[in-house]
Amino acid sequence: MEINMLEAAIESILFSVGDSVELDRIAYSIGHDNDTTRKILHNMMDKYEEEGRGLRIIELEDSYQMCTKKEMNEYLIKLVSKPKKYELTEVVLETLSIIAYKQPVTKLEIEKIRGVKSDHAVNRLVEYGLVAEKGRLDAPGRPLLFGTTEEFLRKFGIHSLDDLPIIKQDEVETLKNQAEEEVQLKLEL
């Protein structure tokens, strides 16, 4: 195996494991003895330094680990400290409303109310930390139950679910009728 391929294999091993890897395990993986493997690793360490890369390989007793250079910390801190932007589209907000008022609720129940698949919206809400799995329904297939999180309360500035606006049944009927009329108008066009 040529040296570039050996270095690529070692790089892959160290990157994939993410933690320190013992020299003898690396040597075994690339099919060489410990001394040769150590020389290849030290050569790689020198190359990383000379080329000014953001990564480096460090030696920890008889193990090696790939990590970022200390000089790169400020960039990493900026990346992880930047607040995540939520994209609360109408579909996602509608799904969130259903979950907030009907929780704990299954995807099937959400889909019955919305009339369309809701996988994407529910997954997005889970990703945003506004909704979480709250267990399983004791029914065939044991579907997941979803409910809102503390993050939901924080983001919407409410102390508890009791603070959600009360929806009057006559308002629900009015909104339902308006929605049906809109659908009819779109179908006629």
Assess contact for 21 and 30: CB atoms under 8 A. no
pLDDT of residue 83: 64
pTM value > 0.85: no
The most confident of 23-37, 86-100, 101-115, 169-183, by mean pLDDT:
23-37
pLDDT of residue 170: 73
Six-digit token string for 187: 């179908």
Taken in order of first residue, the domains within the chain and their CATH numbers are 3-73 (1.10.10.10), 90-188 (1.10.10.10)
Exposed / middle / buried, residue 108 (Cβ in 10 Å: 0-12, 13-18, 19+): middle
DSSP 105: B
Three-state secondary structure call for residue 53: coil
Six-digit token string for 151: 């993050």
DSSP codes joined into one string, 174-189: HHHHHHHHHHHHHHH-
pLDDT of residue 179: 65
114 has a pLDDT exceeding 90: no
What are the pLDDT digits (tens) for 118-158? 999 999 999 999 999 999 988 888 999 999 999 899 888 88
User: Which regions of 79-181 does DSSP assign to beta strands (E)?
Assistant: 131-136, 144-148
User: Which regions of 9-68 does DSSP assign to beta strands (E)?
Assistant: 21-22, 55-60, 63-68
